[in-house]
Amino acid sequence: MNPTPVSRSGRFAGGPAADVAAFTESISFDWRLWRQDIQGSLAHATMLRKIGVLTRAELGAITRGLNRIGREIAAGKFSWKPELEDVHMNIESELTRRVPAGAKLHTGRSRNDQVALDVRLWLRDEITALLGEIAELQRALVSLGGRHADVVIPGYTHLQRAQPVYLAHHLLAYVEMLGSDGARLRDCQARVNVCPLGSGALAGSTLPLDRKLAARLLGFVDAAGREQLTQNSMDGVSDRDFMIEFAAAAALLAVHLSRLAEDVILWVSAEFNYLKIADAYTTGSSLMPQKKNPDIAELARGKTGRVVGNLMALLTLLKGLPMTYNRDLQEDKERLFDTADTVRATTRLMAAMLRHTSVNRAACARAAGDPALLATDLADYLVRRGTPFRRAHHAVGAVVALAEKRGQRLNELTLAELQSVDKTFGRDALGVFDLSRAMAKRNQPGAPGTKEVAKQLARWRKQLSRD
Ligand code: ARG
């Protein structure tokens, strides 16, 4: 006979209809919370012992029983029963079957504060792991940029060649974006790190629960060691804002990964040819034998859709909910798991791919050698000689038009030709087109100049060796 869940015991004539059980179960996905569920139960039991609900012997039996169940789950030997709905009731039922004192474990606790606790514990660790992956990707970007510190490429606006930048500068832009992603996730983690245990179903308990003890045991403390407890039992069981914050920070991270992926996809195309991804990190075509496709980057771009979608799903899930816990909230977990899994895997694979990517220095040099990239420098030259910028901009525009008419590159014009446009041009004007001198000049904080980019690379290297 199928086991009847404890939640129906007494009040109900029997177990749920089979299709009801199938529709309402969550064990098929929330089994992933087993470690946190056991961790939470161990802390709750220790607290129940402290307030005299459990004897020492009972606590010992519960602890051993839970640990044994944990080992069986880890070894894949535990049989999950869908009729028992979820991870919480599966573990509790099995414990009680083996250990009579298990029947006391749920004292002063509801699955409502239990599930809120489990997801907070799970997400707290997940964020730490994701922060590690983000730092790895930042290191891969810094390393790629650092190994080719002298490589210059065109910087683009509107995807049109604009001004020269070091390749490292372009890559460091992503390091900055990922740095903000990390800061947002750390900030979110502080709000995840709050203990809801003791909120009960929605209205706490008449028993003298020691919420602070349970929180301490589970590591819900701030940097100063103060216990972090939810301050309203109704909010404690129905709040999923911490999850939405994570989903939002993850969605923005996914958008950043997607933009990086898009740059890589462009740069490995024959048209750009700045980068080459190693064979092991590319895929082939089933039809065209010559193809080598940047599928990791394409999937990174594509997966952004589901991560953004998960954020929308969670916001929509919460939108119309009356206080407090409603079963709708069970729908949060698949979105949460999917977001965490997707951004973690994507971040990791992008880092691995970049560690197996080489730079085509010749193609970069060819592209960066386009003197038109330094048209603005030529205008700055006139500004240094006292010409108002608007006039300088106009003059260099005329120089560009002249070169175009002649079918020449900007740096192939003679001094006489330059002077035919504006008398202010002197003998040294063509020196503007010396790329390495041009790069040396851009040294304001945050600029793509030689010294500044070296400084930024060094700053990030130092920062990332600490993370
Ligand atoms: N499986 C449920 C969830 O994921 C656990 C809480 C169930 N609570 C309840 N009162 N039915 O949300």
Q: What is the pLDDT of residue 466?
A: 87
393 is catalytic: no
CB 113 less than 6 A from any atom of ligand 1? no
Exactly one of 158, 286, 436, 465 is catalytic; name it.
158
pLDDT at 3: 63
Q: How far apart are CA 34 and CA 114, in angstroms?
A: 12
Write the secondary structure of 17-44 as one string of H (helix), E (strand) and C (coil): CHHHHHHHCCHHHHHHHHHHHHHHHHHH
**Cβ(324) to ligand 1 under 6 A?**
no
Q: At what angle do helices 167-192 and 111-147 cross, to 10 degrees?
A: 160
pLDDT at 1: 43
Q: Is 164 helix (H, G, I), strand (E, B) or coil?
A: strand
Dihedral of alpha carbons 357, 363, 365, 369, sign: negative
Report the residue among 88, 321, 327 best suited for mutation to probe ligand 1: largest number of ligand atoms under 8 A from its CB. Answer: 327
Distance CA 312, CA 310 (A): 5
The minimum-distance atom of ligand 1 relative to the CA of 329 is 12
Q: Are 430 and 398 in contact (CB under 8 A)?
A: no
Whole-number Å distance between alpha carbons of 318 and 454: 47
**pLDDT score, position 10:** 79
275 neighbors 264 (Cβ within 8 angstroms) = yes
Q: Is 33 in the pocket of ligand 1 (CB under 6 A)?
A: no
- Establish whether residue 105 lines the binding site of ligand 1, counting it when its CB lies within 6 angstroms of any ligand atom: no
Q: Which of 28, 180, 269, 285 is catalytic?
A: 285
Nearest to 246 by CA among 320, 329, 335, 379: 335
Q: Which residues pair with 153 in a beta bridge?
A: 165
> What is the whole-number distance in angstroms between the Cα of residue 91 and the centre of ligand 1?
14
CB 119 less than 6 A from any atom of ligand 1:
no
Does residue 41 line the site of ligand 1, with CB under 6 A?
no
Nearest CA to ligand 1 atom 12: 330
For ligand 1, atom 11, name the residue with the nearest CA. 327
In terms of Cα–Cα distance, which of 100, 114, 10 is closest to 55?
Answer: 100
User: 106 catalytic, yes or no?
Assistant: no
Chain centroid, CA 232 distance in Å:
30
Residue range 104-118, pLDDT digits in tens: 999 999 999 999 999
Q: Tell me the CA–centroid distance for residue 32 and ligand 1, in Å.
A: 15
What distance in Å separates the CA atoms of residue 460 and residue 138, rounded to the nearest whole number?
A: 8
Distance 14 CA to ligand 1 centre (A): 19
Q: Say how many Å lie between the CA of residue 265 and the centre of ligand 1.
A: 44
330 lines ligand 1 (CB under 6 A): yes
Q: How many residues does the chain have?
A: 467
**For residue 324, cis peptide bond before it (omega within 30 degrees of 0):** yes
State which residues of the chain have pLDDT below 50: 1
State residue 2's pLDDT score: 55
